Amino acid sequence: MLRQIEFTSSGEREFKKLPLQLQKRVIEKIELYIHSGNPLSFAKPLVNLPPATHRFRVGKYRVCFYLQGASIVIDGIDTREDAYRRR
């Protein structure tokens, strides 16, 4: 199943704050997971961080996301120490 990458407004804002090289790394990693056929096999479930239901790990960063149709919707990107705090 082909999946696209989309952002919530807060996810896009956090993504744009990252250095350009890290932005590129995050997108490449998510595309790798998408092309594997089952991106959720690389994800861990999240609890009490709605609307995000899962997260990917990219180095010291956590990419919180949820699935919507054929899209992966990124809700937040942050370091591990800040990623799981209530927004």
The pLDDT of residue 2 is 61
46 has pLDDT over 60? yes
- Enter the pTM of the model: 0.84
Q: What is the phi/psi pair of residue 33, to 5°?
A: -65, -40
The pLDDT of residue 87 is 53
**17 — pLDDT class (breaks 50, 70, 90):** very high
86 has pLDDT over 60? no
Mean of all residue pLDDT scores within the chain: 86
